[in-house]
Amino acid sequence: MAETFTIGGQNGWYHDEGHWAGYFHTYDDFKVDNTDSRPRTIHVFLPRDYDYSHESYPVIYMNDGDTAFFYGGSYYKTWNMGKILSRLYVTNQIRRVIVVAICPLDRNYEYTHAPIKEGKWGGLEAYSDYIARVVKSFIDENYRTLVNPDSSMVLGSSHGGLAAFYTAIKHPEQFRCVAALSPSFWVGLDSMIDPEFFDLPGDFLGSLEYSALIIAGLKTLENTQLRPKIYLDWGLIREGGEHNSFIEARATVRGREMQDLLINKFGYRYGENLFVVEDPIGQHNEESWSGRMETVLQNFFGWPALMKQLLEQEQQVVKSSSC
């Protein structure tokens, strides 16, 4: 029999799937009163030592929560986050984290800010507000978290990667870390155009620099104190159907454009606040994203990254006290 509980007014249940890294609190009907949000499922993956440690933990807020730990989604696949975290913890490569896997209600609508060919679109602004103000508030109030934005990551792939990037640049006071794998930066630019036009030269399809996405986060990206640390990636395989020949191809083109934009316009630096991976065997699927997760987690929560973050925080304190 499942062990049920109530935390912060939410009914949840405890379950342990045997991962060395931790166990779950699952809320099947997560709904916050006095908001317009609809009930949804949220899985909270807690470190194995959470109950008896006195530690506070960084938090990863993960889109497509139905595939993060379990088989699900349209293609019944999974990232296998439990296995990934177990492997990294056993080898002491990263510090312990809490993962909040947020299941979508209407994926295309919630994860897009601009028109797409199929389905509803345009719910991303409201969704990002929901993650920043509702979900994060609940987690910080009811779990031992490091509440500062430098310890709070939003993560996703494809449309979920677009949503993660948008959420971070719209809510820098809540999230200062973002990982966007195979992100759909092409939405609103290439999403309504016939593929036969993709080989035309110039900016026929529109520039990412002047897109609604960049405009939405311009103030954040221009502010060196607010802008997030960013991880981007994409795969280079083009065989195997539309997901690789079209979607991953556009993710690559627009991802490279975003990379250049972040460096040349906003002053980002490789290995410091920008990490970019081109995966030669990467495809547009959960297997590829799962295969790159160790790199993502080591860049943000590995011990060298943690020591660098602590040093930067100390320098900021010294600088403030000397003013």
Query: For residue range 112-160, what is the model confidence (pLDDT) as tens digits?
Result: 999 887 778 999 999 999 999 999 999 999 999 999 999 999 999 999 9
Please compute the mean of the pLDDT values over residues 65-86 and round it to a whole number: 96
Among the residue ranges 100-104, 187-191, 214-218, the one predicted with the least confidence is 187-191
Strands of 59-62's sheet, edge to edge?
Answer: 3-7, 10-15, 22-30, 40-47, 98-102, 59-62, 152-157, 177-181, 229-235, 274-279
Task: Record the pTM.
Answer: 0.92
Q: Which among 306, 148, 145, 298 is positioned nearest to 231, based on CA atoms?
A: 298
Q: Is residue 73 part of a domain?
A: yes
Please compute the mean of the pLDDT values over residues 276-305 and round it to a whole number: 95
CA atoms within 13 A on the CB side of 50: 21
Are the C-beta atoms of residues 88 and 128 closer than 8 Å to each other? no
Among the residue ranges 155-164, 284-293, 299-308, the one predicted with the least confidence is 299-308
Q: Is residue 34 part of a domain?
A: no
The pLDDT, as a whole number, for residue 318 is 47
The boundaries of the domain holding residue 222 are 49-315
Instruction: Assess whether pLDDT exceeds 80 at residue 319.
Output: no
Q: Is residue 241 part of a domain?
A: yes
Are the C-beta atoms of residues 213 and 256 closer than 8 Å to each other? no
As a whole number of angstroms, the distance between CA 121 and CA 300 comes to 31
Q: Is residue 247 part of a domain?
A: yes
Dihedral sign, CA of 63, 67, 72, 74?
A: positive
Instruction: Assess whether pLDDT exceeds 60 at residue 311.
Output: no
Instruction: Assess whether pLDDT exceeds 60 at residue 281.
Output: yes
Q: Is residue 122 part of a domain?
A: yes
Q: What is the pLDDT of residues 232-270, one digit of tens each?
A: 999 999 999 999 999 999 999 999 999 999 999 999 999
pLDDT band at residue 2, thresholds of 50, 70 and 90?
confident
Q: How far is CA 13 from CA 2, 23, 45, 63, 80, in A?
A: 6, 11, 12, 21, 21
CA atoms within 13 A on the CB side of 105: 16
Give the domain CATH number at 59: 3.40.50.1820
The pLDDT, as a whole number, for residue 202 is 43
Q: Is residue 12 part of a domain?
A: no
Instruction: Assess whether pLDDT exceeds 60 at residue 194.
Output: no
The pLDDT, as a whole number, for residue 26 is 98
Six-digit token string for 306: 């943690």
Q: Is residue 320 part of a domain?
A: no
Please compute the mean of the pLDDT values over residues 289-307 and round it to a whole number: 89
Query: How many domains does the chain fold into?
Result: 1
Instruction: Assess whether pLDDT exceeds 70 at residue 193.
Output: no
Are the C-beta atoms of residues 121 and 191 closer than 8 Å to each other? no
Secondary-structure percent of the chain, ordered helix, strand, coil, rounded to 5 = 40, 20, 40
Q: How far is CA 217 from CA 167, 211, 261, 266, in A?
A: 9, 10, 13, 12
pLDDT band at residue 74, thresholds of 50, 70 and 90?
confident
Q: Is residue 39 part of a domain?
A: no
The pLDDT, as a whole number, for residue 310 is 57
Q: What is the mean pLDDT of the chain?
A: 91
Q: Spell out the residues 6+ positions from residue 184 whose beta carbon is closer than 8 angstroms to its own.
A: 111, 112, 158, 159, 161, 162, 191, 247, 250, 251
- Pick the more confident residue, 48 or 198: 48
Instruction: Assess whether pLDDT exceeds 80 at residue 280.
Output: yes
Instruction: Assess whether pLDDT exceeds 50 at residue 197.
Output: no
